């Protein structure tokens, strides 16, 4: 019935509250006269009712949480598979990029990497993909080459330039 363990706390709290109520009833029967106008069992009774209320809240909360979890699980299985596939594709594309970066070169592979990543995240407009890929490659190349003075692998472009 319940999948979460909150119901155990709820049932234990209710049973403990009932036990305290029974014990306080025995206390009232034994004490004939008390200075306290509320009686000797006032505080234990109050605590018992609070514990019973907490138990009921836990039971309702556990029932509601399990219902929400079941609804999310049925919806999120497809979403999880889609996200999982995206992570696998991004990892594969990144590994391929890293393996061939030295031989093919930064300027050729980076637009392909960016375009592949945009495709993986469901962008399907080839014009925008190519514009973003080329523009981002130029910006990143400029920052790394001239701003940070990083020697980027140019790969086969070196052969055309004669290096």
3-state SS, one letter per residue, for the chain = CCCCCHHHHHHHHHHHHHHHHHHHHHHHHHCCCCCCCCCCCHHHHHHHHHHHHHHHHHHHHHHHHHHHHHHHHHHHHHHHHHHHHHHHHHHHHHHHHHHHHHHHCHHHHHHHHHHHHHHHCCCCCHHHHHHHHHHHHHHHHHHHHHHCCCCCCCCHHHHHHCC
- The whole-number average pLDDT for the span 40-57 is 83
Mean pLDDT, rounded, for 127-154:
92
- Please state whether the predicted TM-score (pTM) of the whole model is above 0.75: no
pLDDT category at 36 given cuts 50, 70, 90 is low
The proportion of the chain whose per-residue pLDDT surpasses 90, expressed as a percent, equals 29
- Give 127-136's long-range contacts (Cβ < 8 A, gap of 24+): 136/110, 136/111
CA angle 11, 12, 14 (to 5 degrees): 65
What mean pLDDT value characterizes the chain? 82
The pLDDT of residue 111 is: 96
Predicted local distance difference test score (pLDDT) of residue 59: 86
> Which whole number is the average pLDDT over 104-122?
92
Which has the higher per-residue pLDDT, 137 or 86?
Answer: 137
Q: What is the mean pLDDT of residues 62-88?
A: 71
């Amino acid at each position: 019935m319940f999948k979460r363990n909150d119901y155990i706390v709820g049932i234990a709290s209710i049973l403990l509250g009932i036990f305290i109520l029974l014990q306080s009833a025995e206390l009232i029967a034994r004490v004939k006269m008390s200075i306290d106008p509320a009686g000797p069992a006032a505080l234990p009774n109050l605590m018992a009712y609070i514990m019973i209320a907490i138990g009921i809240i836990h039971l309702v909360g556990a029932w509601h949480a399990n219902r929400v979890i079941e609804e999310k699980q049925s919806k999120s299985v497809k979403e999880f598979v889609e996200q999982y596939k995206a992570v696998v594709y991004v990892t594969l594309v990144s590994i391929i990029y890293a393996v061939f970066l030295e031989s093919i070169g930064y300027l050729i592979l980076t637009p392909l990497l960016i375009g592949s990543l945009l495709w993986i995240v469901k962008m399907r407009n080839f014009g925008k993909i190519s514009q973003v890929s080329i523009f981002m490659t130029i910006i990143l190349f400029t920052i790394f080459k001239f701003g940070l003075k990083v020697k980027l692998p140019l790969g086969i472009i070196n052969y055309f330039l004669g290096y």
